[in-house]
Amino acid sequence: MSNILAIAHKELKAYFASPIAYIVIGFSSILFGWFFVNLLYYFNRLSLQAGAGMGGPEAVSVNDMLIGPLFLNVTVILLFTLPLVTMRIYSEEKRSGTIELLLTSPLTDVQIVLGKFLGAFVLYATMLAVTLVHMGFLFAFGNPEWRPVATSYLGMLLMGGCFLSLGLFVSSLTKNQIVAGMVTFAIFLMFWVINWIATFTGPTMQAVLNYLSITEHLNDFTKGVIDTKHLVYYVSFIVFSLFLTVRSVDSERWRG
């Protein structure tokens, strides 16, 4: 465990020693704030309209009209920020030649992969933690339910873990950071839009495409529901991607 933490600490230092961490956190915070302000304005307008009508202001739910759409829209941010996080993890090691030192050190492939994943995941968790300021503002001046907020953050953490583990695998396949970033973005986008064509297919294929869609599994989390099938999907996605990364690193060790 100490070896994994040491690698994770090394990765975090590398992130914050370069502009990557600051760009990712700053860019995501600005976009999250933009989505939050616009949805809050829209929610307030609907509340005023409902208050002037027959339903009363309680007819508009802050959870349904603000929190759910907010987190679903925020998934777009991951498409652009997380490839920046993962593209250098192995590519830079290969380009600079430090991968040979890493592979000849007394560390197992699993420890290397888990350490790098943990470092990237902590950076991503920090990115999400910054957005808690907006949630604090919402709870201070509004009356939202806490459960959908908590489960939405859990879903975002799991989805981010899927993207990071997949990006880790792509980065282990090439020494070019740009190639790693572009391929990672393309694969992220495929999993993000794969259910768009589901309506044009038969029932069986539609069910398969909807299950493969990484955003489809987030919907219940934004409603405060934790379904086992969604947890199984996300955890299986992460484990399988990390397994592929371990195999890729192992093949690099043998080639070296």
Residues 147-198: tens digit of each pLDDT: 889 999 999 999 999 999 999 999 888 888 889 889 999 999 888 888 877 7
pTM, whole model, 2 decimals? Answer: 0.88
117 falls in which pLDDT band (50, 70, 90)? Answer: very high
Mean pLDDT computed over every residue of the chain: 84
pLDDT of 89-110, one tens digit each?
887 777 776 666 666 777 788 8
Q: Are 68 and 148 in contact (CB under 8 A)?
A: yes
Query: What was the pLDDT predicted at 224?
Result: 86
- Please compute the mean of the pLDDT values over residues 4-20 and round it to a whole number: 88
Element (H, E) at 97: none
Percentage of residues in the chain having pLDDT higher than 70? 90
Whole-angstrom Cα distance, residue 124 to residue 106? 28
pLDDT of residue 119: 92
CA 158 to chain centre: 7
Give the per-residue pLDDT at 56. 47
pLDDT at 57: 46
Contact indicator for 7, 116 with CB cutoff of 8 Å: yes
User: What is the per-residue pLDDT for 233?
Assistant: 93
The contacts of residue 39 (CB under 8 Å, 6+ apart) are 65, 66, 69, 70, 73
Task: Provide the residue ranges of all domains of the chain, joining segments of one domain with +.
Answer: 2-255
Predicted pLDDT at 45: 80
Count the neighbouring beta carbons within 10 Å of the beta carbon of residue 251: 13
Backbone CA torsion sign across 33, 38, 39, 43: positive
Q: Give Cβ neighbours of residue 81 (< 8 Å, ≥ 6 apart).
A: 24, 27, 28, 127
Task: Let me know the angle formed at the C-alpha of 34 by 32 and 40, rounded to the nearest 5 degrees.
Answer: 100
Matching residue, tokens 């391929």: 183
N- to C-terminal Cα separation, the chain: 26
